Amino acid sequence: MSLKPGLYALLDDSVRPELPMIEKARAVIAAGVHTLQLRLEKTPDRPALDIVQAVVAIAGATTVIVNDRVDLALAAKAQGVHLGAEDLPVHIARKLMGPNALIGATTRTLEDIVAAKEQGADHVGLGPIFATTTKHVAHAELGLEVFARICAASPLPVVGIAGITLETIGAVAKAKAHCAAVAGDLLRAADITTRARELRRAFGEQL
């Protein structure tokens, strides 16, 4: 399995918490998004598992990735997991999830990407490209120029992360990102499905 290029819908339980995660998922699935990630940092384990299972059940052709939690991804039979520096190491996740799982790692530099590949990651999240309001990130913004330079040298597909909007996603695509992860600009839209389609088009996807 490989990550399909385009919009990477990041569904965060802290962004519009009044809207159930399953409804956020339905909205982006309806837009034909290839990949969605479930970030459930505010949700206790049992209801989080219920959410992941429910989303996997309705996902169809959309790939479901779980943020941080290998256990939830395995239990719900999601296709992959995304791991940060404080999460389970990539090589352990690969042993647990097997060769066909999608395993992404958060990276800040080209050296981080090379190390993630050596550990068994098949793609990486690289950023922050821009400032973000959905998650505290204690790292300086890369900016598009540095981001593009790292993408050009990366041995793995790169998902651009942090602060990406409808106005900037095209530039992220031109910087040779494989995907662009969008949370706030997507989930705060009046119509999430419509915004997801707009983001896909702006990235350069053929709808």
Please state the domain count of the chain: 1
Residue 4 has what DSSP assignment?
P
**Cα torsion 197, 8, 180, 149: sign:** negative
Does residue 62 lie within any of the structural domains?
A: yes
Residue pair 177/159 in contact (Cβ under 8 Å)? The answer is yes
pLDDT at 3: 94
pLDDT at 134: 58
pLDDT at 78: 98
Predicted TM-score (pTM) of this structure: 0.94
CB atoms within 10 A of CB 49: 18
pLDDT digits (tens, 9 = 90+) for 50-71: 999 999 999 999 999 999 999 9
Does residue 1 lie within any of the structural domains?
A: no
Question: HSE of 155 in the Cβ direction (CA atoms, 13 Å)?
Answer: 12
pLDDT at 2: 87
**Which CATH number goes with the domain that contains 138?**
3.20.20.70
CA 77 – CA 126 distance, rounded (Å): 26
CA 3 – CA 22 distance, rounded (Å): 22
pLDDT at 137: 57
SS3 of the chain: helix, strand, coil, percent, to 5: 40, 20, 40
pLDDT at 140: 82
* Domain extent for 179: 6-203
pLDDT at 135: 58
CA 29 – CA 147 distance, rounded (Å): 28
pLDDT at 102: 98
Low-confidence ranges of the chain (pLDDT < 50): none
Does residue 138 lie within any of the structural domains?
A: yes
Residue pair 176/148 in contact (Cβ under 8 Å)? The answer is yes
β-sheet bridge partners, residue 158: 124
Does residue 16 lie within any of the structural domains?
A: yes
Classify 103 as helix, strand or coil: strand
Nearest CA-CA partner of 192 in 62, 72, 23? 23
Q: Alpha carbon of 13 to those of 24, 64, 165, 194: distances in Å?
A: 9, 15, 19, 20
Q: Alpha carbon of 181 to those of 53, 121, 159: distances in Å?
A: 22, 17, 6
Residue pair 118/136 in contact (Cβ under 8 Å)? The answer is no
Residue pair 101/81 in contact (Cβ under 8 Å)? The answer is yes
